Amino acid sequence: MCGLYGFVYYGKKGLKGAEKLLEDLAWEAAVRGTDATGYSFVNKNKIQVEKAPKPAYEMKYLLPKGVHTVMGHTRATTQGNATNNYNNNPFKGIQNKTEFALTHNGVLDNEFEIRDEFNLKPNKIQTDSYIACQLMEKMKDFSMESLKTVGETVEGMFTFTYMDDKENLYIIKNDSPLTLLHFPALQLYVYASTDDILFNALTQFNLTNKIIINTIMNDEIKWQVENIPVKAGDILIISPRGKIERSEFKPRERVWNN
């Protein structure tokens, strides 16, 4: 069990308090893992990853001015010692000339079969999640077809989030939980693994808390918070301009060996 969290801000002025929002999300997501914490963002057209084998409340959260997309992870270790920081999410990859980062919540069953099929060489990283990073490196681009290939190749319990160096966020959701909300007035999408994590974080962040309170108190303005449905088999692309594209994939049936 791990925690995913992050946001896409598509305004032009810069999100006031972006570091506080990131911290609130990470702290609340610690309920799903305290072995390691990490987050990624784009700085000067390069993917930057900050991670450490420590709980979220011991991390420092620093973001460059004008950041649009941030993608985070809290880890409960299932495979790969968290004290070796290279085993922790997010992972960095390069697809052609495009840098990207990956986070994963879940457990993957067919890591070694994928290695054989796509000729993926093992390395020092012992975490099963990393196979989804290597697999994406084999794709020619971040098209819906490539995302579908990844979703339909991997067997197991998962939600993947990827972010490229243009600050696009990609979501491939199977049966691991994810909740996504949209605040049109703030030009902001925010996500986390569960409703509780998201609600607790957003009620601590001043800008979203005001909107949530107004929404609860006044039924006529519920459009200020939009729930974006994300179910198993969904693929979403959220651009730093706020545009959402959708597609679907067919999750593989898990095979249990007796």
For 206-245, how does the pLDDT look when each residue is reduced to its tens digit (9 = 90+)?
999 988 887 766 655 555 899 999 999 999 999 999 999 9
Sequence-separated (6 or more) residues with CB below 8 Å from residue 79? 126, 127, 128
| Cα distance between residue 106 and residue 102, in whole Å | 13
Indicate if the alpha-carbon torsion angle 121, 125, 130, 131 is positive or negative: positive
Using DSSP's 3-state secondary structure scheme, residue 128 falls into coil
Quote the pLDDT of residue 121: 85
Mean pLDDT of the chain: 94
Q: Is the pLDDT of residue 252 over 70?
A: yes
> Cis ω on the peptide bond leading into residue 90 (within 30° of 0)?
yes
Model pTM score: 0.95
The model's pLDDT over 38-67, given as tens digits with 9 standing for 90+, comes to 999 999 999 999 999 999 999 999 999 999
Quote the pLDDT of residue 213: 80
Using DSSP's 3-state secondary structure scheme, residue 169 falls into strand
Quote the pLDDT of residue 258: 45
Six-digit token string for 18: 């972006």
Phi, psi of 159 (to 5 degrees): -130, 130
The model's pLDDT over 146-164, given as tens digits with 9 standing for 90+, comes to 999 999 999 999 999 999 9
Six-digit token string for 161: 């989030």
Mean of the pLDDT values across residues 174-193?
97
| Cα distance between residue 19 and residue 30, in whole Å | 17
